[in-house]
Amino acid sequence: MDFLRRAGSLVEALSRPWVLEGLGQIQIPFAFHNSIFVPTHFILGSTGAMPFMTVILLLVLFPRIRQVAWTGVLPAAVLASLALSAENIFALLWFGLVVASIWHYVGKRKTEEGNNRSCYIFWALTLGFSAILAVSQGGFITESLRSIAANLGAPLEVASMNYQGFELRWPLALPTAHFEALQPSKLSNLAFLLVEAGPIFLLAPAVTYFAWRRRQGRHVIWVGLAVAALISLLLPLFVRYGVDRSITRFAGTALWLWLILGLQLILAASRYLKQSWKMVIVILLCLSVISGIVIFALEMTSISEPQYSYYIDLLDTRMAARYWDKLPEHAQILDHVESRGVTLFGRPSRSFSGVYTALPEWSELVASPEVEQVVRGGYDYVYMDSSWWAELKPEVRQTYDAQCVKVVDEISFKNIDFRRLYDLHACSE
């Protein structure tokens, strides 16, 4: 709630612009950005929208595959891809499919057990093969299991990456991206959560009800997604993550799944509704996309000129234009901004073991990057900027005057700011 405390009131906070790096000249009004349900076009970079497309693909794919044993390999591979792009959706959907397939089996075993044997083998193969792929292919699930096994005393030498641990949450609360965890037991918090969720939350009861009605039918994937949505909302209420803001996506995932499934119900029911009810549904759907339309319009104002990340400025872009993918293939570049050297030169760097965990040796070199120590650390180049240079001790700066140190390039701005790329290959020889 630090943002609210600085603003003084919720109304004042919502009227302020949301300051965001790389957005352009016009900032997004904070009232139009949601702390739970983020517009899909706002996360088109990286793997942000890929999980949603994968879920839609599964909805289209499953009903069209004849459910005999060997055909379970294809949907298993598609399902396992979620473990890399959105491990939370994979885990919830996998569990939801287990529940849905068991319901289906229990409902049909007395009358169609013989005829549906291949169907059950299909689901066993789909769920089993996707689980094996998810555990072995790398990513968050693989590293989390390694970390758990290491804590149990298993002889694993591979360190876990980006795993922060879970614990029970009390009192029950739902974490949000901007307002921390809000407690539904408090009336004011509950009202605000309902406003943040928006009209889409109204689809939750209908989706859950129809999932229960369909639990013993052939709509296994539909029921599995409905179960996943319900658990996705309940899980962060009871469980806290080490970086609690990271599990705000669970509630967003629940809303998104309810939207996809609920739209199917709306389309199916619209033919039986009166015109007045159809107008109410249209109005609610329009309200649910207003924020996304406003944000998209403001994003379009920035499309005419390149927008750089917060750790890259004009001098860095000039250096990248000259040396992107031009350095030796296995070159290691030391930079005190861990992501910048990788972004500018296209070469991986040994700096962090995870998103939040810097390697101790990298931190030591950044604090005192003497040429001899940098070479011993396995680095071939140093990317130096004026702010880093100003922090160094005089004796550390003097090491860069050695004859073996070569200045590959230097870009400066009015003797105020500069970027230098040092080549230390000769020093290692």
DSSP 209-236: HHHHHTTTSS-HHHHHHHHHHHHHHHHH
Question: How far is the C-alpha of 65 from the C-alpha of 205, rounded, in Å?
Answer: 29
pLDDT at 379 over 90: yes
Work out the angle at residue 392's Cα, subtended by the Cα atoms of residues 388 and 395, and round it to the nearest 5 degrees.
150
Residue 383 located in a structural domain: yes
Mean pLDDT of 162-173: 71
Q: Which residue has the higher pLDDT, 213 or 242?
A: 213
Give yes or no for residue 157 having a pLDDT over 50: no
The band of 47, judged by pLDDT with boundaries at 50, 70 and 90, is low
**Residue 312's CB: how many other CB atoms inside 10 A?**
18
Q: Residues 45-54: what's their mean pLDDT? A: 74
Mark whether 330 and 211 lie in a shared domain. no
pLDDT of residue 44: 61
**pLDDT at res. 24:** 67
Please, are residues 35 and 177 in contact by the beta-carbon 8 Å criterion? yes
Last residue of a domain, one of 272, 289, 323: 272
Q: Is residue 353 part of a domain?
A: yes
4: pLDDT confidence band, cut at 50, 70 and 90? low
Answer whether residue 296 is part of any domain: no
Alpha carbon distance 166, 176 (integer Å):
17
Q: What is the pLDDT of residue 155?
A: 46
Q: Are 247 and 363 part of one and the same domain?
A: no
Whether residue 8 lies inside any domain: the answer is no
In a domain? residue 149: yes
pLDDT tens sequence across 224-241: 999 999 998 888 888 877
Domain co-membership, 255 together with 346: no
Considering the domain architecture, whether residues 323 and 259 belong to the same structural domain is answered as no
Q: How confident is the model at residue 70 (pLDDT cuts 50, 70, 90)?
A: low
Domain count, the chain: 2
Residue 319 confidence (pLDDT) above 90: yes
At 265, which helix (H) or strand (E)?
Answer: helix 248-270
Note the pLDDT tens digit of each residue in 97-122: 999 888 877 766 555 544 456 677 78
Q: Which residue has the higher pLDDT, 150 or 184?
A: 184
Which percentage of the chain shows pLDDT scores above 90? 24
Domain check: are 247 and 375 in the same one?
Answer: no
Res 242: pLDDT: 60
Provide the pLDDT confidence category of residue 192 given band limits of 50, 70 and 90.
Answer: confident
- Kindly tell me if the per-residue pLDDT of 323 is higher than 90: yes
User: Is 295 part of any domain?
Assistant: no
The answer to whether residues 41 and 177 belong to one domain is yes
Regarding whether 341 and 256 lie in a shared domain, the answer is no
Six token digits for residue 427: 């020093």
Does residue 297 lie in a domain region? no
Same domain, 336 and 414: yes
pLDDT at 52: 84
Q: Of 218, 252, 272, which marks where a domain is finished? A: 272
- Structural domain containing residue 337: 314-428
Please indicate, yes or no, whether residues 364 and 241 belong to a single structural domain of this protein: no
Output the average pLDDT for the chain: 81
**pLDDT of 365 above 80:** yes
Q: Say if 403 falls within a structural domain.
A: yes
